[in-house]
Amino acid sequence: MSSLLHLRVVNQPEHTQAVLRLLEDCPGATHLVLLPGAGVRPAGDVVEADVAREALDDLLTELCALGIDHHGAITLESIDTALSDAADQAEIAAPGEGADAVVWEELLARTGEESRLNFTYLGFLTIACLLAAIGVITDSVITIVGAMVVGPEFGPLAALSVGLVLRRWDLVRRALAALLLGFQCAMVITAGLVALGYAAGLFDESIMHVNHQSDFVYQVGPFSLIVALLAGAAGMLSLTSAKSAALVGVFISVTTVPAAGYAALALVLGEPGRAGQSALQLLVNLAGIVLAATIVLLLRNRRNKYQDNGRPLADG
């Protein structure tokens, strides 16, 4: 898979030459195209290029310094395949490795979108909590794993880490709202439906007093934090390097949603002790993920501030 991204810039004509100079001077840019007057809304010239991922962050910073993000537009698209010697040369000329590069504007946009508290997010989170509760009732580890996969909570957790590192407090507030209100809503709905199932005789209190394969959901220990830290680090590495396939392993590694579902079930069945342990498990995992993800971002941010020759780069 190519590490190039397609860059399209719509800018006012007076900025066209400056944009062209930036792209011509960028070692990782190629396939440069100018379409004078092609922009309709916003109006202006359109400049397109394919840029190596590792050269993109500084280029975006310089484009934004021209005010193009306010008066025009800057868009990015992934390129799956590029059959071009010029593209190969651009990737070789760009400093560093594409898999190691962090495009901060892309990361900010992605996590910002995934941190929104909306119906889709609440729907997935509620379904995941319900699956977790059913997994505990039926002692089905497979169902609990399914709840981990369905759970959408890594989006706002990643957004929280990005907001902390970049000091984007608006993103931090939005991510916290999605986490706190989302889990509260999902747990309340889960508790209500569990109560209906209990009243209908689908299960009774005895399910809480036998040895379950799923008891790990509420049993807090040192490995709870260790697993959360490892999952948070893996999740942020995969997110910043665009290797999203690795996220599947993250989603099934941490008992966040299962702990929330177990807590709702335990409260309905009169087990406040286990409900409290589950809530603590949930908090430990959430905190561990955010801590590890933030540390990874800080380390990558420090790495990206220096070229191979040690010259400081402009902050993104």
pLDDT tens-place string over residues 228-281: 999 899 888 888 875 554 455 555 567 799 999 999 999 999 999 999 999 999
Is the same domain home to 95 and 174?
Answer: no
Average pLDDT value for residue range 217-226: 84
Question: Does 47 share its domain with 74?
Answer: yes
Alpha-carbon Rg for the chain, nearest whole angstrom, is: 24
47 and 114, same domain (yes or no): no
Q: Could you tell me if 143 and 265 lie in one domain?
A: yes
Q: Which helix (H) or strand (E) holds 238?
A: helix 222-240
With beta carbons less than 8 A apart as the criterion, state whether 64 and 74 touch: yes
The structure's pTM equals 0.81
Instruction: Examine residue 94 and state whether it is found in any structural domain, yes or no.
Output: yes
CA distance 139 to 179: 27
Q: Does 145 share its domain with 286?
A: yes
Q: CB-based contacts of 167: which residues, under 8 Å, 6+ apart?
A: none
Residue ending a domain, among 57, 84, 100, is: 100
Find where tokens 């949603």 sit.
257
- Asked if residue 310 belongs to a domain, the reply is no
Assign residue 90 the CATH number of its domain.
3.30.70.120
Tell me if 134 is assigned to some domain: yes
In which domain, by residue range, is 94 found? 4-100
Would you state the structure tokens that stand for residue 61, as one six-digit string? 């910073």
> How many domains is the chain built from?
2
pLDDT digits (tens, 9 = 90+) for 100-158: 677 888 888 888 888 889 999 999 999 999 999 999 899 888 898 889 888 899 889 99
Residue 315 domain flag: no
Cis peptide before 95 (omega within 30 of 0): no
Same domain? For 48 and 170 the reply is no
| Residue 48 and residue 126 share a domain | no
Higher-scoring residue by pLDDT: 26, 110: 26
Sign of CA dihedral 201, 124, 231, 116: negative
CA gap 232, 291 in Å, rounded: 8
Asked if the structure places residue 292 within a domain, the reply is yes
Q: Is 5 helix (H, G, I), strand (E, B) or coil?
A: strand
Q: Which of 54, 85, 100 is the last residue in one of the domains?
A: 100
Shared domain for 158 and 252, answered yes or no, is yes
Do 214 and 159 share a domain, yes or no? yes
Element (H, E) at 101: none
**Chain CA centroid to CA 112, Å:** 9
